Structure 1
């Protein structure tokens, strides 16, 4: 179990995965914040800072989890092909 957790930590800090997750979070978070807090952004209502921050954090984690699961699936498929050969 410890070995698997070390692999997970390595994947979480994988530069390509972090970069892709950050780009996804910025794009999706920006779009969602404009949709959800338009009145606050143009000054007609207060900005809900907690919601604003969460609107960037949630897409980051969704993208990261999706990336890790994809990497694990590819690794399993590759191992299965090597074992079959």
Structure 2
């Protein structure tokens, strides 16, 4: 049985979900930072550190929320399957 009645915080701090969200944030954040701050990273323009940080944080939260909702939907489907098979 998987994640039948897990709280919101437990789902958000699920180690697998955190690893996947970090990998997504690092990949997407790095690509977006190069696109959005190319002159700052490779040229002479100043780097906007607040924007750079947000460019990593936003994909992390998007990935985490998406993963959490997927886990919840999967748990609901499993609960429905087990209740109909009984």
For the criterion TM > 0.5, the same-fold answer is: yes
Match of 1:78 in 2: 78
Larger RCO, structure (CA 8 Å, separation 6 or more): 2
Query: Comparing 52-61 with 41-50, which one deviates more in the overlay?
Result: 41-50
Paired positions, count = 81
Match of 1:42 in 2: 42
- Greater helix percent: which structure? 1
Instruction: Measure the CA separation in 2 of the matches of 1:82 and 1:67.
Output: 22
How far did residue 49 of structure 1 move?
A: 0.5
Calculate the aligned-residue CA RMSD, in Å. Answer: 1.2
Match of 1:61 in 2: 61
TM-score (ref. length: structure 1): 0.91
> Which segments of structure 1 move beyond 3 Å, counting only runs of 4 or more?
none
Match of 1:21 in 2: 21
Instruction: Measure the CA separation in 1 of the matches of 2:13 and 2:74.
Output: 18
How far did residue 43 of structure 1 move?
A: 2.8
Q: Unpaired runs of 5+ in structure 1?
A: none
